[in-house]
Structure 1
């Protein structure tokens, strides 16, 4: 390793040393990049590495880190980079084993008992409970999930806030549960993997009333305080405004309707709802500024030491309290870590807003929750923060700006930079283009920063004295303005456009290009334009699957000249919704079903890239089917008996493959499956359950 440069041509070695010296003092921000690369490798592996291999990765990372200081510059950096990749791979694998918990072995209907540890809303706008210490009738303890989620349907009165079970209470209900589902198409979002890291082993619904089994027996006091504060806020501010205020102050979104959330999403204002970097930054900035201003007033200014450090400590205390009170979800933890790193930099006399601080925060987040790398929250948060730090750092002192114009310029520039930096990730994950999102943010964010957050802090301070009413009313005015902006702009014609989901190599390519542009020093950074152009080209030229088959076999989607045609107007609604979103196709499932060929009568037949597909549903149609009935591919929601000359996808086959996609290939249609032949940790319980 020490003689690595001798293996390179003399000119190449000299250029490498020159480039390396130009980056001195700017290399630490690349550490989370290589750590994330290792984490990404783990999740991209087609098979689950053995624990011994994960241990070997950890040992190898430690050895490389020990060897690196004894080597020349370039070999040392290579050792550190490889060590970080190995460390990321080991961390992700270790975390996957650490959170292992049982998955429900079979579909279940019956009595459910557990302790309430979370209350929110499902995508169908139903109240949803998260339970732990679960008991299921007839299910052995070893097979009982550690946690499960159950949505409450059927009884409209359960939508009333007063009837929602309190955190810590043990409840009993009757419901239907299923193991967490996998991707609805190969390469799509894997809810089963997401649930694995949340230790959720079953999801389902109940149409029966919830019965209180036992009152809280200690513990859960923070969660109970959250819900009590949420209830108090919503009593002071009824309706959607109060629900928005409660979500902002406590993270409790159970009072918000889907129409409001959809309006925020369509105008690119959904980030105002999630307690993340913006809220944590506004909170700590308000506390920091207020305390500093207070300490400048005599006699405090004469008797206290560094007002800046005291203000930083006060802001850190406020951020810690907000972390606990808001529920401490992953996004809030990530925001707290970033703020804590920056405030800590102030305490040790370093620049708070720097790429080193951002990189350190990313390292901490990835070290604690490696799976966060795959989520849009992590990607968008750090993309925006990195871009903002770089852009404002480059502008420092570059332009003579009058003091009165600085806040306006900062608002416009920060909104534009954050929008550009997060756009690829937002488009890739949500498949929506908010055409007026920048305008909505310019109109709404000032109300959040100047009114809503300061009044929320003031209300929290005055709450113990019963004087929070005026502050909450003023906060409500700011939130009312934000919701008015969201509803007005979202109703405009063409406010939202759809975009096709990118292929697997698009986001890595765009990310690499963006990192080179932002982190590399000197003219070499412009090399980042090459992977960006490559990513854009791959996205533009990518093709959606010619045929999609749901994991249950109950829905088939065929790509036609007019868009995706679905075999059924109802049923498998979640899969249909995701398919159409990924296709960039507007409209409902019923409208997509109307595109299915009608000339073939009641038979669900269609052509996919010249291949005839037949879809049969139900045991009666499956039993009546003779052979393949002239089709090349037969999809059935019931098991087909006997052997057939065509390609068959029925529940027995789909149990092994998961959802299926067929794409154009050199030799015809190429088959892709959602599950690999060797299951990952989060897939093993699911295969036993079917």
Structure 2
């Protein structure tokens, strides 16, 4: 045993100078642990965890290599959990506790589009009828349906409308994406829609100047470049995607070019790199007297900060700015700009500012790509120059290799979150990304510089061919046969296991790094063997899905479209809701639809008229209905039951009752569930006994 410990300690000593990149990894483990809890830790526990973690971090310096490393890792995990809990408490804001219909008044602080292509307004300074100020949501988001057009929504405008509001929904299936948690960290206390016109109460005031400037720039760009090209340019320059149609967004997604839309590491890096290069070249005459390189880095950092402010400062852009800022500050401090240490510092800053970002695909994909690229190209530096080939081939090879490495690093994350794989994504990126760096981003900088002089049309005209090419590639590639494949959603343990395995391969020094292949392989095997729930029930009881030979059969042709879409995507099923509904045995013409289930049948009673025609059930049957039903001699999921449980998954069993898992059982009672949270699920077997 002593020999084993001695060898482990010697191995850790050999990692001296290479352990810092593990700091954000263990901090992330603590953050992930907090979000995995099924109960909300009390504030005193969070404080104790944070203080205890800091003590362990301080003590590790006075211990040996092995014990000191273990103390440091434990301290970082404890601090990560405390950090995430503190952030959840800091963003606390009232949640609406019931379905509201009536007048909604507020100030416009964001404008975007929903998945159904409807314009959405995010409002703050909210006023709701007959609701005390201390119970009003801090922010609400409303989708605009029906006839609008009476006003043109503008940043800072105070508006009033009549609409429906409710708290954000929980997961559409147990263990699924929790939109309520996502809304909590955005301080969205309610979401909803309106079918009546939005009325202007008050013109924009002096606040929200950056948002107003951003939308004004977006409007000017779209006026200069009409159509989807201008909307694409506005998205790149300002982050405003409200002008883009769903067809274009789908084409970019299916060709793996959607990352060009988000103002992320690619855009921020291209912008900062272009400005850095131009400034350094322009100041080359002073290079012998002044630190021109540092002047160029300072200018690039200032431009990147301006881009961050102008783009709306969302999480992805903040993350990209932090990464670019770390690289430029490394130049100012005469350190290597691109290294695993720099990536670790950027990840650490992002996690300290927004620990909830760890759960999002943006954080996971950007740091997966960056870590893999830095590690691979660092390894290639050891190749002697005479073996690297001609410079022309070297440059082309670097583009191909970077696209390949970034694509492979981000593919598992993209497949896990979006359930699709673009088979021609590498090709689309190879013929599009270089054009983004060589033409589009420099032309965007030129347009912004010339805009005060009214000459921005020059830069926009230069951008247009590049943008048209990228959009053309997206539509062409996404239209090819077999361009998109579907992937089943993995179990929650798969991505963390895969990430830890690959991080060990990339960060550990020496031959032992290849031990990380084992957990990564195990993650792949678990993914392949993922078992989807045979039966899924929506949280309102209006939709039921049963897995069959052809795929999941749905009990309704329309309605609950979001739940239906997510279920089918997580199944790795490319069908739409009408196609899945056509699989239901016997069709959906009857008021009450049934499906064979294990020892009994599953009955969906979708409304009051169907409830009147429902003749009852036998022992071993399952009945689902969004309306109250009389006492039945079978397992019944009614509105009161589902309100407490959330979405439900069922598996057949050898007993009369099926195995059951509810969304509330998985997510527990957390701070973002508000007053609606109730982990005591009393699903009734409402029989006479």
Band the TM-score falls in, shorter-chain normalisation: over 0.9
For 1:237 and 1:678, the matched residues in 2 are separated by 49
Match for residue 568 of structure 1 among 556, 559, 568 = 556
The 1:430–1:610 alpha-carbon spacing in structure 2 relative to 1, beyond 3 Å, is farther
Contact 2:279 2:299 in 1 (8 A): yes
Partner of 2:156: 168
Shift of 1:629: 4.7
Report matched runs for 1:514-533 at 5 Å. 514-533=502-521
1:70-103 Cα shifts (integer Å, max 9, x gaps): 1122111111100000001001111111111111
Q: Which residue of 1 aligns with 2:686?
A: none
Instruction: Rate the CA distance shift 1:601–1:618 in 2: closer, same or farther, 3 A.
Output: closer
1:177 paired to 2:162: no
2:599 and 2:620 in contact (8 A); partners too: no
Q: Paired residue for 1:341, among 317, 326, 342?
A: 326
- Aligned position for 2:37: 45
Q: Distance in 1 between matches of 2:588 and 2:472?
A: 49
- Say yes or no: does 1:102 pair with 2:102: no
* Partner residue, 1:608: 597
SS in 1 for 2:480: coil
2:409 alignment counterpart: 421
Match of 1:327 in 2: 312
Matching residue within 602, 619, 644 for 2:608: 619
Structure 1 residue 319: Cα displacement: 0.5
Quick one: distance in 2 between partners of 1:679 and 1:318?
A: 44
1:681 to 656, 665, 671: 671
Aligned pairs (5 A) from 1:12-411: 12-155=4-147, 157=149, 163-296=151-284, 298=285, 300-303=286-289, 305-398=290-383, 399-411=387-399
Alpha-carbon distance in 2 for matches of 1:611, 1:52:
49
| Matched position secondary structure for 1:106 | coil
Q: Is 1:650 the equivalent of 2:650? A: no
In 1, Cα distance between equivalents of 2:299 and 2:256 = 32
Alpha carbons of 1:600 and 1:414: their partners in 2 closer, same or farther (altered >3 Å)? closer
Matched, 1:453 2:438: no
2:564 pairs with 1:579: no
Normalising by structure 1, report the TM-score: 0.95
Give the conservation status (yes or no) of the 8 Å contact 1:292–1:311.
Answer: yes
Residue 587 of structure 1: how far off its partner (Å): 1.6
> Contact conserved, 1:614 with 1:631, CA < 8 A, in 2?
no
Secondary structure of the structure 2 residue equivalent to 1:433 = strand
Q: CA separation in 1, counterparts of 2:2 and 2:355? A: 40
Instruction: Provide, for residues 540-588 of structure 1, a one-character-per-residue CA deviation record: whole Å limited to 9, x for no partner.
Output: 1111001000000000000001100001111111100100000111121
Aligned mates of 2:78, 2:565 — CA distance in 1? 38
Corresponding residue for residue 498 of structure 1: 486
The answer to whether the aligner puts 1:671 opposite 2:663 as a matched pair is no
1:322 to 1:215, Cα distance in 2 relative to 1, 3 A: same
Partner of 1:551: 539
CA distance in structure 2 between the partners assigned to 1:397 and 1:75 by the alignment: 33
Task: Tell whether 2:494 aligns with 1:509.
Answer: no
Deviation per residue, 1:263-319 (Å, 9 max, x gap): 0000000000000000000000101111111111x3x3344x111111110110010
Query: Quick one: distance in 2 between partners of 1:620 and 1:687?
Result: 31
Map 1:3-14 to 2 at 5 A.
9-14=1-6
CA distance, structure 1, for counterparts of residue 660 and residue 612 of structure 2: 26
Q: TM-score, normalised by structure 2?
A: 0.95
Given that residues 543 and 556 in structure 2 are in contact (C-alpha distance below 8 angstroms), is that contact kept between their aligned partners in structure 1? Answer: yes
The unaligned stretches of length 5 or more in structure 2 are: 682-689
Alignment-derived partner of residue 634 in structure 1? 623
Contact 1:195 1:201 survives alignment (8 Å): yes
Give the C-alpha shift of residue 631 in structure 1: 5.4
Give the corresponding residue for 1:6.
none
Which structure 1 residue ranges, 5 or more long, are not aligned?
1-8
- Distance in 1 (alpha carbons) for counterparts of 2:668 and 2:34: 14
What does residue 537 of structure 1 align with?
525
